[in-house]
Structure 1
Amino acid sequence: MKILAIDDDASIRYMLSEICDFAGWTAVVCSNGKEGVAEFLKNGSDVVLVDYHMPEMDGLMTVQEIRRFNKEVPILVLTVDERQEVADRFLDEGATDFALKPVKAPDLISRIQLHRRLLEATRKKYEDAFVAKGISQTTLSHIVSFLSSCDHPCTIDEIMKEIGLAYPTVYRYVVHLMQTGKVRTIVSYQKMGRPKNLYQWI
């Protein structure tokens, strides 16, 4: 498992690396939020540990940036601040959990293990739902990739041409994406003939 640890204190970065090494995990350390976000976007991570008070980009901004690109990776905030309003702000921005400083190895290891298990259970449940609906994760990812990168609303025919699947198959996946709130329908009225349904990634 790969852990991204973001903290401006060199001694804490060292300690987090030692804890991860003891647990058998790989630690990648960064000294500020800006550096940490760049590392996450480039190489990803299974869990993110982020300090609250840092120069350039504090922990709150770091959580905001990571959540812009990834909604599911567990993010644990390291802080000496026990105020509820601070916790609420972090949770509102997408933080998963907190570990109070000074960090204790057993507590941190158990929290990381817990959130990884929860994430894996959620993913399995999601994948099982796909199987029940006859939805393939691979096919869905191709359609999602096309729609999310397209700069204009698309017809089913355009998606078919790009993905190389039959109309009924593409339509079923698009309906699934509409039901899950990922895609919206736009009705395009033509000068002649029937209106066309266009589909746009939200």
Structure 2
Amino acid sequence: MSSVAKVLVLDDEANLRKVLAAMLRREGYDVTVAADGEQGLAEFQKNGADIVVTDLVMPKVGGMEVLSAIKAANPDVPVIIITAHGTVDSAVEAIKAGAFDYITKPFDQPELNAVIAKAAKAHESNRRSVRPDSKARAAIIGESPQIQDVYKIIDKVADTPSTVLITGESGTGKELIATALHGASSRRDKPFIKINCAAIPHDLIESELFGHERGAFTGAVTSKPGRFELADGGTLFLDEIGEIPVEMQVKLLRALQESEFERVGGIKTTRVDVRLVAATNKDLQAEIEAGRFRKDLYYRLAVVPIGLPALRERRSDIPMLAKYFVEKYNRRLNKKIEGIADDAMVLLQAYNWPGNIRELENLIERVLLFADGPLITAKDLPEPVRQGGGAQANSLASSSVVEAPTGETGLKDIIRMKAAELEKDLITKALEETGGNVTRAAKLLQISRKSLQTKMKEFGLRDIAPEGKEEGKDEGSGKDESSDE
């Protein structure tokens, strides 16, 4: 954890609250307690929390209502259910409704510590990630040809049982695609269970996936279903699939092929109906050659492969993404930034974005915190973006050789010239993509048509868009009906 996680504990048993709080504080967590669900939700609304641990059965407001309220307020906060042996089935239903995990009474400290640590890691990961919107494909932002291709695949395969393997660099939105696949399928009202394979210790992967019986290993004080069981009828998303150890890959392959498995320490075979979506930022072909990933599992996963482009490969989507994040953080931070100035947008599109969409979102949030407005300008951007990415390879550096400053030509002048070159290139490509239609090209570039016409005149690009190609142009009279006021 990058900072101390805040844990909110809700339980109507005073002794249990004290024991839980003491155990968690010894592990270094910042703990707040509440005597019931009503008090707990008031505390959460006032001061927030990184993790919520709540009893299932409480007076006034029960654990399921707490879960629903927390998920509505902040879906990224993991909610852990405390349950007695007789209500394990209810706890499983809670997980299907979005709870992170559950622990049973009586519980031992290692079990509690393991669940809380896993929740803390998941919350930290969610906090840094781009959180998917609940509107399935509508939440995917972009109109570039690369993203249009992804849309087409989602439309064709979402409502099928076929396994999907999503590949792409970290921060490109793989979980967003998995959510869209589930949301656009007939399984949308069934569980969508997510697990980050990189966040689970190797010796616990099998138990996480397939569950375990009581006494199967040290600390297994009760039987527990795995993620495959919890996802029955719905979708199971295995993120960072390349992190699963080779010995577990055989069992995963069998579960995918036969739709059945046994819990750890059990003999009963369980059958499930699960649609699997996997994701990785690793090159699985290279992993296969290195002996770290099974070829047969790869082919079973990659029935439908979806490769997500890096943000630097879809630069025309940056204005749309940046606008979305400005609006998002205006609401969240109570700011009133109106947008991004042209000089800043040119630099955003020139930067290489090694962290992809996640990096762009984090940058916009940081800039909004300090910007005085009304527009974000070049001076508001961090130095690596203003300087074209520093030592990182970016489009400015790769498009042509940047010579060292000589004579009266300083670094700022070189950057200004290279930014102008990139701007001209982006405008040219937008006009070519739209067949010379100025109105549509301006929309694609997220600038006004008047600004685009000025830039076209400045760069000598008027011949790319004959007058008859402009939307709203009355060819007979020569009158431009859609000119900016």
- Does TM, normalized by the shorter one, top 0.5? yes
- What is the count of residue pairs matched by the alignment? 161
> Are 1:97 and 2:101 matched, yes or no?
yes
Quote how far apart the aligned CAs of 1:135 are: 7.7
SS of the aligned residue for 2:340 comes to coil
Partner of 1:144: 328
Q: Which has the larger radius of gyration?
A: 2
1:60 aligns to what?
Answer: 64
Are 1:164 and 2:348 matched, yes or no?
A: no
Q: Which amino acid aligns with 2:80?
A: L
Structure 1 residue 19 displacement after superposition: 0.7
Residues 91-111 of structure 1: CA deviation (Å, up to 9, x unaligned) = 233211001112322111111
Cα distance in 2 between the residues matched to 1:19 and 1:117: 18
Residue 170 and residue 54 in structure 1: after superposition, are their counterparts in 2 closer, same or farther (change >3 A)? Answer: farther
Question: Larger RCO: Structure 1 or Structure 2 (Cα < 8 Å, ≥ 6 residues apart)?
Answer: 1
Q: 2:172 aligns with which of 129, 138, 148?
A: 129
TM-score norm. by structure 1 comes to 0.66
Deviations 1:155-192 (A, max 9, x none): xxxxxx96233574589xxxxxxxxxxxxxxxxxxxxx
Q: 1:134 to 1:51 in 2, by over 3 A?
A: same
Question: 1:87 and 2:91 equivalent?
Answer: yes
Hey, what does 1:44 align to over in structure 2? 48
Higher mean Cα deviation, 139-148 or 34-43? 139-148
Percent of residue pairs identical? 26
- Residue 99 of structure 1 aligns to a residue whose secondary structure is strand
Cα gap change, 1:83 to 1:52, in 2 (>3 Å): closer
Structure (1 or 2) with the greater strand fraction: 1
State the 1:146 CA deviation: 5.5
Gaps of 5+ in 2: 132-170, 174-309, 312-316, 342-442, 449-480
Whether the 8 Å CA contact 2:54–2:82 is kept in 1: the answer is: yes
Q: How much has 1:21 moved relative to structure 2?
A: 1.2
* Alignment partners' CA distance in 2, 1:136 and 1:35: 41
| Aligned: 1:17 with 2:192 | no
Task: Supply the distance in 2 between the matched residues of 1:68 and 1:109 (Cα, whole angstroms).
Answer: 26
Residues 40-74 of structure 1: CA deviation (Å, up to 9, x unaligned): 11111111000011100011111111111111111
C-alpha distance 138-55 of structure 1, shift in aligned 2 (>3 A) = farther
Which segments of 5 or more consecutive residues in structure 1 lack a partner in the other structure?
149-160, 172-192, 195-202
CA 1:170–1:71: 2 relative to 1, 3 Å = farther
Distance 1:169 1:62, change over 3 A: same
CA distance in 2, matches of 1:8, 1:170: 57
Q: Paired residue for 2:80?
A: 76
Paired with 1:45 and 1:84, the residues of 2 have a C-alpha distance of 25
Secondary structure class of the residue paired with 1:3: strand
Q: CA RMSD in A?
A: 3.3
**C-alpha separation in 2, matches of 1:97 and 1:170:** 47
Letter in 1 for 2:339: G
